[in-house]
């Protein structure tokens, strides 16, 4: 698969040149050359033209007639696949892979297995519905939907029988995942990477061996460093030898690296390549496919700025070992990512794709072909000479039926002979389960044999003084420069040498049950000749099925009349339930009947089990959080994309502090940021808060945190036990909502607020902070935060830091609505709040001394003692504050069509406590509050199905009764102990308030 040391551009622009290898027999297709019958009958016309005469122009036009111009992209139609049992069908899904596997054995023998499509993994649910797709979202939100239900199941589509079946492979299967990469190596499928419920999947290579009657999974042992965990990348077998892994996202950023594994060299080892030339930028969600001669084409993708890419890039290996990138010629009709692409001979078929912001590729360009034999892009109509600038489709359908079929993203494609198959994907918030097919009528014209025949015909044709594809030389057998300065190569890609196109994964290299398996003796026994034989066999299969009326040419069988519903028609033998496509997710909010608890003595394996019990969600790069009105939402989505921000102080904070398992209180109390870095952190976060509305609109799933009060160790424990907000953790598929009171009382208020602000900057649409009563200068000046700033940063810098952070606090949102069914706030509804609009109308920045009764109720009020105490009562926190009864809760929920209020503000012994018959939950996340309460801390995990699951941590052993015995206490930190003694906290909810301490409460002060 090597090429002479020459220009990659020449390779991409002139692949039709003659190879020195003997041509394979031409396939049974119509010839690609056209010789005029008039020329055959007129010998005079075969005389060479005289240079410098008008005959030269005539000769050029005649020469152009010998090779048929590139054909447009084909149309797709729905395959009426047979599904005998419901579990045999893959069902609605996206983010999966579809791989074409060659036949096994000889046709007509007992062990013969025909060509198949192997579908693996993907996301099988959307927005909390594990069975089917939900109702599409409003227009403009196409493609920005939450994915879930990652799976590791394997389904097989038999090309000859037209039947789906589920494969139950033995061995060691991969973990559930989607956005992974897969490629075929002979009669095997190799899987790598992806992302699943536990985060980014490992870098292991998993092989599904389909050579035997019973499929078997193996995990391949690869030595040394490799690509590492990643998702949204591409993988392809190049030249039947080199397994290439390119790009993707490692959980932190898009990548542009290229890794190669030589399947002919043992032991297997990844090697990072440094290709020459102009390669793609760091990107994810691109597609790649390898041409039969060894040229790999990488197409589209999304760069580090979330901008879709239009270009295609070729990658090939020279004889001297160098790898080289080059930009493919032609004009792409549209940029795109999350699309699908597959080669049929020299034509790269591209389908679907997203543009970002909820838009999908325009109907007219949803299918395109890069004809590498001609160096041009084609859409369904003609050669593309300029990017299409027409309407881009969002959620509304448009165009003819065949165009509507391919308007999708996150689907998968594979080719069998001249047939291109597509399965599943996402369209307008709906998961699809249809199998589409198209036939490339031009495929036979771009085989090596057809291209060589065309070149020979052009050479021998009448009036053809210059061979159409004969390479020029410099007289010494070397390629000579062409008229445009590029190098014309005689042999674009060398054939197999010394039998090196084999890959052997023997039993000692496969991690499997050696007692029952002989191992995998050979992962591939294919060669270039075998690939041509497979193509010929597939052509015969396609002709046979077309003759039987099973799969015909879309252009001959009325593809425009195909269904556009997104559901795959099923034959009479199928038992798929049609009602699943119309299923709507459950709308009721309910509290799960059990809470997940981490005991004080837990550790090791228990922690792992707890994480496995967390809600199973899947990554979607384009998840959306609405920000107020539709007008402001559009602007917010442009400004607050899901990609992480540029390198800055927030990266330093996250790298230094986000250590759920390894964080320890600093030995030196000096804070690690200086005032300039704190200024940068506050300014960046403040700009994000300024773009948000006073009441956030949040989508489930989401984790909700109560008061933290500077107990940074508890925050790390919660992250450790129930997932952390990083891409390697679970931020890609679940949001984080914090209900205020980040500072005061605890030892590490600076760490707590700094990390939360850094996370907000890095994940502005997935981490949400609202304000608590301690996010106010007149309060945190008295309860520890001001003292901590001075004690850890010096008086001058400490006071400045305290003032700047409090200035930012005035911009914090004040409440959050989740799915328009749950409202979250810090305190409560008090006496004055009857409608959510009252909160929305509060203008920020706003301080406590603004005189707003609504703000005071929102941040300071509490529920009454229990459900039997109704109405409004005085609050023991101080004059002017109230408690509200269950009747007020029920009335507020009814007025606003809400089902639940989640609030913080009060310490509760179990970390959470229900009120008003479960319509209000109090949440507190700090354990052993102020070193005396000995309470548990909790978070609430709201799933896609709106089921609320409390998850708890208990105080670290031994149970403490005073700050002196707390593990977090340090001898020099007597200032916090003294402060808590002088100003004791509000008693834990449910415990009586001590008499005589009214003057110590915050509200009185």
State CA 918 to chain mean position distance: 36
Q: Hunting for tokens 């060894």 — which residue is that? A: 294
Distances (CA, A) of 70 to 162, 454, 532, 577: 31, 13, 22, 43
- Say which residues have a Cβ less than 8 Å from residue 327's Cβ, sequence separation at least 6: 9, 12, 278, 311, 312, 313, 314
Note whether 178 and 619 are within 8 A (CB). Answer: yes
- Say which residues have a Cβ less than 8 Å from residue 172's Cβ, sequence separation at least 6: 206, 217, 218, 219, 511, 512
Task: Render 263-323 in DSSP notation, one character per residue.
Answer: TTSSS-BEEEE--EE--PPSEES-EEEE-TTS-EEEE--EETTS-BB--EEEEEEETTS-E
Note whether 96 and 119 are within 8 A (CB). Answer: yes
Q: Look at phi and psi of residue 608 and say left if phi exceeds 0, alpha if psi is from -120 to 50, else beta.
A: alpha
Distance CA 1002, CA 709 (A): 14
SS (H, E, C) 868-921: CCCCEEECCCCCCCEEECHHHHHHHHHHHCCCEEEECCCCCCCCEEEECCCCEE
Reported as half-sphere exposure (CB side, CA atoms, 13 A), residue 83 has a value of 23
For 107, other C-beta atoms within 10 Å of its C-beta total 12
Note whether 555 and 71 are within 8 A (CB). Answer: no
Question: % helix / strand / coil in the chain, to the nearest 5?
Answer: 25, 25, 55
Give exposure, 704-734, as e/b (b: 16+ Cβ within 10 Å).
bbbbbbbbbbbbbbbbbbbbbbbbebbbbbb
For 853, other C-beta atoms within 10 Å of its C-beta total 12
Q: Hunting for tokens 């019958």 — which residue is that? A: 37
975 in helix, strand or coil?
Answer: helix
Q: Dihedral, CA atoms, 101, 104, 107, 112, nearest 10 degrees?
A: -120
Note whether 479 and 6 are within 8 A (CB). Answer: yes
Residue 185 parent element (H or E): strand 181-185
- Say which residues have a Cβ less than 8 Å from residue 652's Cβ, sequence separation at least 6: 673, 677
The one catalytic residue in 411, 774, 919, 954 is 774
Q: ω before 701 within 30° of 0 (cis)?
A: yes
The answer to whether residue 774 is catalytic is: yes
Distance CA 689, CA 845 (A): 10
Distance CA 506, CA 270 (A): 18
Handedness of CA 61, 62, 63, 69 (dihedral sign): positive
The DSSP 8-state label assigned to residue 684 in this structure reads: H
Q: Retrieve residue 951's tokens.
A: 């998850």
Q: Are strands 862-863 and 882-884 parallel, antiparallel or unpaired?
A: parallel
Give exposure, 831-845, as e/b (b: 16+ Cβ within 10 Å).
bebeebeebeebebe
Distance CA 799, CA 794 (A): 8
Q: Are strands 154-158 and 163-167 parallel, antiparallel or unpaired?
A: antiparallel
Q: Terminus-to-terminus CA distance in the chain, angstroms?
A: 79
Q: Look at phi and psi of residue 989 and say left if phi exceeds 0, alpha if psi is from -120 to 50, else beta.
A: beta
| Residues that are catalytic | 774
């Amino acid at each position: 698969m090597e090429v002479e040391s020459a220009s990659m551009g020449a390779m991409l622009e002139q692949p039709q040149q003659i190879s020195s290898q003997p041509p394979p027999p031409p396939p049974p297709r119509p010839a690609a050359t056209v010789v005029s019958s008039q020329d055959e009958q007129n010998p005079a016309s075969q005389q060479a033209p005289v240079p410098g005469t008008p005959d030269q122009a005539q000769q050029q036009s005649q020469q152009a007639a010998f090779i048929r111009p590139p054909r447009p992209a084909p149309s797709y139609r729905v395959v009426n696949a047979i599904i005998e049992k419901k579990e045999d069908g893959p069902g609605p899904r996206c983010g999966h892979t579809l791989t074409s596997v060659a036949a096994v054995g000889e046709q007509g023998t007992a062990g013969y297995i025909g060509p198949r499509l192997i579908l693996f993994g993907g996301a099988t649910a959307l927005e909390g519905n594990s069975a089917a797709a939900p109702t599409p979202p409003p227009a403009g939100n196409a493609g920005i939907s939450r994915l879930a239900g990652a799976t590791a199941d394997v389904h097989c589509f038999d090309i000859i029988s037209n039947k789906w079946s589920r494969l139950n492979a033995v061995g060691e299967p991969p973990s559930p995942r989607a956005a992974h990469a897969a490629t075929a190596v002979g009669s095997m499928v190799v899987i790598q990477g992806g992302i699943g419920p536990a985060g980014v999947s490992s870098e292991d290579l998993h092989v599904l061996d389909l050579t035997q009657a019973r499929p078997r999974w193996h995990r391949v042992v690869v030595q040394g460093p490799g690509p590492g965990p990643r998702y949204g990348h591409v993988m392809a077998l190049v030249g039947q030898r080199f397994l290439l892994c390119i790009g993707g996202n490692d959980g932190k950023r898009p990548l542009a690296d290229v890794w190669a594994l030589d399947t002919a060299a043992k032991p297997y080892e990844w090697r990072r390549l440094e290709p020459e030339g102009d390669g793609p930028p760091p990107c994810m969600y691109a597609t790649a496919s390898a041409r039969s001669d060894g040229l790999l084409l990488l197409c589209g993708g999304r760069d580090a700025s979330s901008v879709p890419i239009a270009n295609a890039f070729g990658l090939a290996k020279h004889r001297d070992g160098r790898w080289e990138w080059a930009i493919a010629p032609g004009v792409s009709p549209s940029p795109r990512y999350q699309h699908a692409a597959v080669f049929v001979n020299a034509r790269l078929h591209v389908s679907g794709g997203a543009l970002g912001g909820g838009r999908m590729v325009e109907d007219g360009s949803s299918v395109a072909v890069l004809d590498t034999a001609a160096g041009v892009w084609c859409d369904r109509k003609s050669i593309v000479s300029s990017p299409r600038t027409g309407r881009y489709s969002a959620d509304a359908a448009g165009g003819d039926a065949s165009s509507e079929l391919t308007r999708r993203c996150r689907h998968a494609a594979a080719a069998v002979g001249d047939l291109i198959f597509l399965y599943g994907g996402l369209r307008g918030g709906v998961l699809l389960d249809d199998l589409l097919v198209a036939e490339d009528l031009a495929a036979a014209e771009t085989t090596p044999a057809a291209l060589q025949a065309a070149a020979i015909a052009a050479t021998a044709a009448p009036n053809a003084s210059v061979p159409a594809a004969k390479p020029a030389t410099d007289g010494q057998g070397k390629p000579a420069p062409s008229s445009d300065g590029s190098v014309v190569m005689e042999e674009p890609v060398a054939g197999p040498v010394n039998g090196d196109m084999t890959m052997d994964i023997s039993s000692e290299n496969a991690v499997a049950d050696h007692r029952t398996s002989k191992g995998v003796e050979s992962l591939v026994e294919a060669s270039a000749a075998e690939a041509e034989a497979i193509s010929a066999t597939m052509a015969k299969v396609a002709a046979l099925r077309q003759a039987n009326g099973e799969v015909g040419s879309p252009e001959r069988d009325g593809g425009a009349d195909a269904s556009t519903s997104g559901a795959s028609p099923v034959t009479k033998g199928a038992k798929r339930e049609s009602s699943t496509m119309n299923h709507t997710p459950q709308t009721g909010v309910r509290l799960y009947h059990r809470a997940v608890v981490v005991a004080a003595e837990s550790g090791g394996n228990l922690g792992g089990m707890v994480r496995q019990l967390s809600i199973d969600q899947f990554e979607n790069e384009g998840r959306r959080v609405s920000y107020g009105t539709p007008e402001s939402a559009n602007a917010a989505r442009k400004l607050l994309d899901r990609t992480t921000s540029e390198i800055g102080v927030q990266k330093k904070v996250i790298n230094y502090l986000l250590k759920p398992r390894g964080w320890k209180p600093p030995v030196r109390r000096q804070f690690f940021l200086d005032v300039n870095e704190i200024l940068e952190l506050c300014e960046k976060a403040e700009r994000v808060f300024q773009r948000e509305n006073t009441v956030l609109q949040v989508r489930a799933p989401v984790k909700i945190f109560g008061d933290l009060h500077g107990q940074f160790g508890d925050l790390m424990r919660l992250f450790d036990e129930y997932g952390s907000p990083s891409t390697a953790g679970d931020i890609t598929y679940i949001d984080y909502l914090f209900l205020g009171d980040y500072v005061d009382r605890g030892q590490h208020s600076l760490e707590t607020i700094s990390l939360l602000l850094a996370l907000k900057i890095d994940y502005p649409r997935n981490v949400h902070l609202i304000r608590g009563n301690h996010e106010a200068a007149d309060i945190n000046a008295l309860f520890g935060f001001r003292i901590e700033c001075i004690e850890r940063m010096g008086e001058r810098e400490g006071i400045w830091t305290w003032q700047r952070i409090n200035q930012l606090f005035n911009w914090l949102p004040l409440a959050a609505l989740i799915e328009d069914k749950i409202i979250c706030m810090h305190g409560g509804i008090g006496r004055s709040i009857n409608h959510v609009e009252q909160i929305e109308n509060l203008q920020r920045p706003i301080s406590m001394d603004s005189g707003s009764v609504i703000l005071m109720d929102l941040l300071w009020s509490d529920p009454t003692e229990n459900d039997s105490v109704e109405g409004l009562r005085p609050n023991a926190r101080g004059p002017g504050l109230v408690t509200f009864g269950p009747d007020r809760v029920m009335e507020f929920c009814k007025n606003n069509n809400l089902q639940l209020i989640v609030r913080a503000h009060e310490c509760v012994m179990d970390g959470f406590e229900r009120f008003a018959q479960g319509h209000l939950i109090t949440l507190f996340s700090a354990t052993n509050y102020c070193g005396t309460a000995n309470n548990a801390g909790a978070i609430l995990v709201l799933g896609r199905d709106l089921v609320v699951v409390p998850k708890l941590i208990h105080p670290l052993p031994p149970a403490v009764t005073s700050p002196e015995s707390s593990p977090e206490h340090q001898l020099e930190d007597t200032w916090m102990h003294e402060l808590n003694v002088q100003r004791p906290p509000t008693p834990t909810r449910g415990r009586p308030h001590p008499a005589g301490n009214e003057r110590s409460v915050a509200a009185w002060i």
